């Protein structure tokens, strides 16, 4: 496994830790902290997916034009701000706006990340290397999902948002460090 794939796998693990920490408790966050409804939970998830799906084609073009690393970093900065924004949400309408921005952040990150992942794998071992990446991704998410409820029960919701922001910043640093060493692109 080459250095580029190790770096991309680390970024994937950070991403999965975020999804694993927030995903299981997000509906509870909406219901408890924001006094939202089950309908709000479904609409918020849908809004995130729609606001990420629609701009992904344009984001892919931006990746091709300006570079994978730059667009990924921009999306990561926006995503980190959105994750921190959860700690400031106390009204449902704030969360709806935040999900639109978070969807846009994901739209910027995902095509860039997929391009980096494809580039980091060797053609002759691509399936195997993708399998390694995805196994690490899933194991990190599983571990974070178990820890998530324990953290929220003991320390409240804000801690998981701070942790996820830290993981997002770490993924940005991995991109910058790897690019600087010539391991990416």
CATH code of the domain in which 100 resides: 1.20.1250.20
- Using only the alpha carbons of the chain, give its radius of gyration: 17
51 belongs to a structural domain: yes
Instruction: Please give the structure tokens belonging to residue 184.
Output: 């990416």
185 belongs to a structural domain: no
Domain count, the chain: 1
119 belongs to a structural domain: yes
Instruction: Please give the structure tokens belonging to residue 167.
Output: 């993981």
Q: Is the pLDDT of residue 64 over 90?
A: yes
Contacts (Cβ under 8 Å, ≥6 apart) of 133: 5, 8, 9, 12, 117, 121
Mean pLDDT over 6-35 rounds to 95
Mean pLDDT over 81-88 rounds to 98
**Domain, as residue range, for 38:** 3-180
pLDDT band at 185 (very low <50, low <70, confident <90, very high): low
pLDDT score, position 184: 75
Mean pLDDT over 46-55 rounds to 98
Between helix 92-120 and helix 3-22 the angle, nearest 10°, is: 160
Q: Using one digit for the tens of pLDDT, what is the confidence trace for 155-165?
A: 999 999 999 99
Mean pLDDT over 86-94 rounds to 93
Instruction: Please give the structure tokens belonging to residue 12.
Output: 């994937």
State pTM to two decimals: 0.92
Mean pLDDT over 118-129 rounds to 93
pLDDT score, position 58: 98
C-alpha–C-alpha distance, residues 81 and 96, integer Å = 15
Question: Percentages helix, strand, coil for the chain, rounded to the nearest 5?
Answer: 90, 0, 10
């Amino acid at each position: 496994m080459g250095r580029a794939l190790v770096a991309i796998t680390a970024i994937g693990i950070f991403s999965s830790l975020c999804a694993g920490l927030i995903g299981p408790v997000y509906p509870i966050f909406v219901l408890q902290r924001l006094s939202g409804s089950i309908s709000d939970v479904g609409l918020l998830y849908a809004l995130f997916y729609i606001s990420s799906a629609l701009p992904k084609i344009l984001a892919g073009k931006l990746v091709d034009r300006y570079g994978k690393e730059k667009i990924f970093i921009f999306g990561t900065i926006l995503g980190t701000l959105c994750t921190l924004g959860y700690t400031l949400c106390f009204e449902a309408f704030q969360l709806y706006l935040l999900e639109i921005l978070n969807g846009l952040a994901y739209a910027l990150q995902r095509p860039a990340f997929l391009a980096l992942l494809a580039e980091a794998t060797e053609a002759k071992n691509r399936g195997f290397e993708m399998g390694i990446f995805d196994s690490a991704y899933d194991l990190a998410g599983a571990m974070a999902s178990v820890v998530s409820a324990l953290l929220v029960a003991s320390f409240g919701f804000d801690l998981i948002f701070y942790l996820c922001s830290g993981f997002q910043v770490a993924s940005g640093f991995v991109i910058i460090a790897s690019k600087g060493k010539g391991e990416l692109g």
